[in-house]
Structure 1
Amino acid sequence: MAALLLFRGIALARSRGSVVCRVRLGDRAWQIGVARYVGGELHWIPFIGLRLRPRHAIARRGLTVSSRRRLASGEGPAGYWAVVCSAERGPLSLAMSEDALTGFLAWLESAPPSAHLDAV
């Protein structure tokens, strides 16, 4: 069973269009997983678990970056950045490599202008 979970984690990390990303909701601990961009959402799938469906689907609409900083030593892998975001569901933090952070910020900025407006 452990070998199957290890294989699942490696397959998720190497799948096309995925980046290793940690997520923290509120004051909880960091959880490691894989993030994928699917249309207007960022899907986050944990490394540990049996389901291949995302545990969190973070909508680009209404998502804003409040701050970003390098992770302190002992907080996560060296060279990772923490991004604190405000989302419709509440505060959210993501931790990722510098390359993944660049992709995340480009994905946020590439939203069409109407994506930030609420439909009337």
Structure 2
Amino acid sequence: MAALDILAGVVALAAFLVVRGVALARSRGTVVCRVRDGHGGWKSGVARYVGGELHWIPFLGLRLRPRHAIARRGLTVSSRRMLGIDEGPAGYWTVVCSAERGPLSLAMSEDALTGFLAWLESAPPSAHLDAA
């Protein structure tokens, strides 16, 4: 009986994570985006533009709060390139950004990249004064 309870708990948790991931991916104003900070691997999640910040929420996890809140003020794009076959999904682009916390890489579709660059460029003129 205890094994059945444990199995039911695992199934319920898995179902919650799947429903949470689908809800995040289908939310209005979000785009599927991968993040890599430092030299670790890519983490999948969704990005949402909230005022002057880009909020990134991972697919795997219980919290609905963003794991990364990337401020547009002082954010600069160092480089951008298409991901290689062994790096990620076909058609995804990666941008390396210089942020307050150090370099951060984002991977997203070409449409999402266009939106990201437009959001970044639409900042007020004083937004990039802090960039070094």
TM, length-normalised to structure 2: 0.87
Match of 1:80 among 67, 75, 92: 92
- 1:37 aligns with one of 39, 49, 52: 49
* Bigger radius of gyration: 2
1:60 corresponds to which residue? 72
Q: What SS class does the counterpart of residue 107 from structure 1 fall into?
A: helix
Q: What one-letter code is carried by the residue in structure 1 that aligns with 2:111?
A: D
Match in the other structure for 2:129: 117
**Alignment partners' CA distance in 1, 2:48 and 2:91:** 20
- Aligned twin of 2:63: 51
Percent identity of the aligned residues?
85
Q: Indicate the structure with greater helix content.
A: 2
Secondary structure at the aligned position of 2:15 is classed as helix
Distance 1:77 1:111 in 2: 29
Within 2, Cα distance between the matches of 1:89 and 1:68?
19
Which residue identity does 1:68 align to in structure 2? Answer: R
> Secondary structure of the residue that 1:83 maps to in structure 2?
strand
What CA RMSD, in Å, does the superposition of the two structures yield over aligned residues?
0.7
**Shift, 1:74, TM fit:** 2.2
Identify unmatched segments of 5+ residues in structure 1: none
Q: Distance in 1 between matches of 2:88 and 2:128?
A: 32
- Residue number among 12, 17, 21 corresponding to 1:5 in the alignment: 17
Rounded to whole Å, the distance in 2 between the matches of 1:26 and 1:62 is: 19
Per the normalisation by structure 1, the TM-score is 0.96
Q: How many residues align?
A: 118
Question: CA offsets per residue over residues 84-119 of structure 1, 9 Å max, x none?
Answer: 11111100000000000000000000000121225x
